[in-house]
């Protein structure tokens, strides 16, 4: 049976290799890392997009928190 190796995901290691690592099963020792092509989007543009998305998520979070407080107040459990 052939050994299957998918960098950064999985590997079928033989017991001899595990013994060489003194039976430590930390994945990085066996699977390595996947080669990932660098993204061509400039850092500043990425940060603008991510902070805009984060601001939207924070706004939704505040809205949901207000709704929860309102609903709890409706059943006399205010805090």
Residue 3: pLDDT band by 50, 70, 90 thresholds? Answer: low
Q: What is the mean pLDDT of residues 23-31?
A: 80
Q: In terms of residues, how long is the chain? A: 79
Q: Return d(Cα 29, Cα 34) in angstroms, integer.
A: 13
Please tell me whether the overall predicted TM-score, pTM, comes out greater than 0.75 for this model. no
The pLDDT of residue 1 is above 60 = no
Q: How far is CA 3 from CA 13, 19, 56, in A?
A: 8, 17, 46
Q: What is the domain partition of the chain in residue ranges? A: 1-36, 38-79
Q: Is the CB of residue 9 less than 8 Å from the CB of residue 31?
A: yes
């Amino acid at each position: 049976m052939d050994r299957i190796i998918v960098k950064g995901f999985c590997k079928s290691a033989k017991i001899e290799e595990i013994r060489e690592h003194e039976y430590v099963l930390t994945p990085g020792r066996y699977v390595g890392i996947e080669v990932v092509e660098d993204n061509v989007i400039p850092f500043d543009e990425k940060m603008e997009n991510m902070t805009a998305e984060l601001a939207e998520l924070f706004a939704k979070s505040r809205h949901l928190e207000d709704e929860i407080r309102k609903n709890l107040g409706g059943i006399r459990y205010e805090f």
